[in-house]
Structure 1
Amino acid sequence: MKPVQGLEGGGIEILYNRDKNGEWIKADRERVSIAKLRMKAKSILDGRFSLHNAPDRIMFEERIKPHKSFKYYTYKGTPDVRVIVFNNVPIMAMLRLPTRESEGKANLDKGALGLGIDMAKGATTYAISGKSGNIEMIPGTKLRVGGLKIPFWNQILENAIKAQKATNLNFAGIDFLIDRENGPVIVEMNARPGLSIQLANEDGMRWRLKKAAFLKVKTAEKGIRLAKDLFGGEIDEEIASISGKQVIGIYENIKLIGKDMKEVLAKAKIDTGADSSSIDIAVATKLGFGDLINEWAAIKIDQNISRDDWLKMEAELKAKYLNKFEDLVNLDYVRSSHGASIRIYVRITMQIQETKFETIASIYDRSKLTYPVIVGRKSLTRFLVDPSQRKSQNKCFPKIHFQKS
């Protein structure tokens, strides 16, 4: 039950069934009597929840049974997908998930979650709780907000474009529910959709509006293609399918796995100018290489050592330590503006986006540098690096800042 001219989700009641006493059951299991529903109906008709408090009408909609893809992500109510369409091109989209706080309503003003959607992949990216700050996990679960695939994505985009054409609204927000059996259903169109969708996508809408402003789009198929090419990552997917390599940006949130399956999540710089990968001492310690690091810290290096003397020392160190520490793969003498040092290398497992692989990385004090991890060329054989992707496309890992241990 909802007001026809409602504003920001006010006045909406979601009712599931009746109990044996004839009272209706809401999403939070609260019982609602017929008398209370009549009072709510009168408030709607009087305009309490409407724009400018003008007298209103009541709309009754069949309750949609949520698609099984959202089963573990939503609380009681039905998630919806909002697509902003301008000039017959979908320019931005958001998934709204009901929460306990929102009483089962997919409304950000009431405390629902807003998840940005990659226009090409039809998968969630970033998220906000209500209209507040970003979140990484679905509240009360161990599920990350990124990577949830939206069912019937192409059909949703096509129907959004057709709905805009049918109503002659050049700019509109089209809301979809996805029924378990019937697929996407348009439940609402907004001539003045809220702009919180920008927060959920961590991106502004203005540049997208400019991109789509003067395009000539005659068919829904072309509108979908433009939406994906201009505002999504489909081109990356095409390159990946042709080359067999995944396209990544120059900054990525990655996972590192060390001894005894110890894991560290960190933001890394993808550096094609570096030959090998490097991890900070604090990161390496968290990965279980503390004993090796402490042993190495005790070795004193003569800053004036000659190359011949170093080669002799290197052979002795390898003979002593490569057998003692099975984690130690190699060591190298490095001379820089900071002086001479011995760089040690260990074998780790690295995960970038969805690709997990073994690689070798040096351990170095990066506490005064911006990134705790550098991924070099030898670790990038499975990837193509797109320098234009300055922001990581994978926000499933939180930002972690390491201090020198």
Structure 2
Amino acid sequence: MTRSVAQAIHSLLGDAPGVGVVAHDGSTAGDLTGTVMRLRTPRALSYIAGHPGQLGFARAYLQGDLSIDGMDEACPYDELRLMEGFTVRMPPLRELPELVQAVRRSGVSLAPPPLPDLETPGELRKLAHGIRHGRRRDAEAVQHHYDVSNRFYELLLGPSMTYTCAVYPRPDASLEEAQEEKYELVCRKLGLQPGMRLLDVGCGWGGMVRHAVRHHGVSALGVTLSRAQATWAQERIAAEGLTGAEVRHADYRDVTERGFDAVSSIGLTEHIGVRRYGAYFTFLRDRLRDGGRLLNHCITWRSPDHVPMRRTDFIARYVFPDGELASSGRIVTEMERVGLEVHHHENLRQHYARTCAAWSENLSRHWEECVAETGLPTARVWGLYLAGSRYNFERNAIQLHQVLATRTSVEGEAGYPLRPTFA
């Protein structure tokens, strides 16, 4: 018996219990008393049939052709938990003809690539050219994600303007307290003292630079590929009258200064590319003096056997073009391979789940203003992304590791105490 449109779509969800599907042609499938997904137009089916996985469902939702009854667009966390983080199965070959027939009965063709009104015109075409993780393409990828709007990020991130994992000193700490604690933890791990020189690569809006200068009396240089971030940071540094704080709009590879006492890399490694880790850590090592410390903070896979992100995944397509993750073991191995000595390794996964939840709350609280600032499709992207990230950190699908290392001298002097002083 030929399946209806709704039955075909429900099968892609693994015939999930507690989930119902209502298609545009009136057909239904699954549990209509549970969470109900509605295909509102034939185009929704076209998107899903064209990419019967994460991307197809996401495209239909982002364009308004698919909806879920009662879902909070700013924080679809409950729905993603029910549907296992929007992970849908690819249909086996024997089911593909039924899906194609359903599309034909609807009188539509397979959907073209994502529409220009959803993504920056030409953005994906640009990223398809050039050397992967080359300077130009890296700049375009970073600008896609970070140059959305400084006002949007102010609403999303709060006063700290910090878009990396916070560290919660206690369960009831606020997001601002937790971000302050994160910066302070990094400063303590790096052993910052007055008069030292710090390099912060991928500095974002300058939070680490400003904290280190203000609270530890160092001089600090931050670099970011995002012009919007650099402009915001420069204005804030001037407004706060911070002497010794500098943020440049530049590729980290353009930093010529050497002899830094410490280097912090907070949330940049995800953009580097796994195959370039060796060159990356070599560059950071060469910026340090003997006995200087490096703190690398990044999202990681929980297992070295994890399948890398695919270009057709939702996050790779809409959030982090060219983003790549590796296991924490790979990070440690690559650091050691270039001669850095690893002293401390910490997993902050649970803290990132809390951080994503706090960002989701901010997005929900300021939803109408965020939509006005970026447009509804982009706001929906962020709602899905943050809710899905929170869920995946909670269930240990992804992790967040800080790895602390030194440029130990040839005589074996590491400049590191017998016991850590930051615990």
Q: Which one scores higher on RCO, CA 8 angstroms, separation ≥ 6?
A: 2
Name the structure where strand makes up a greater proportion of residues. Answer: 1
Task: Tell me if both proteins adopt one fold, taking TM over 0.5 as the criterion.
Answer: no
TM-score, normalised relative to structure 1: 0.31
**Which of structures 1 and 2 has the bigger CA Rg?**
1
TM-score, normalised relative to structure 2: 0.30
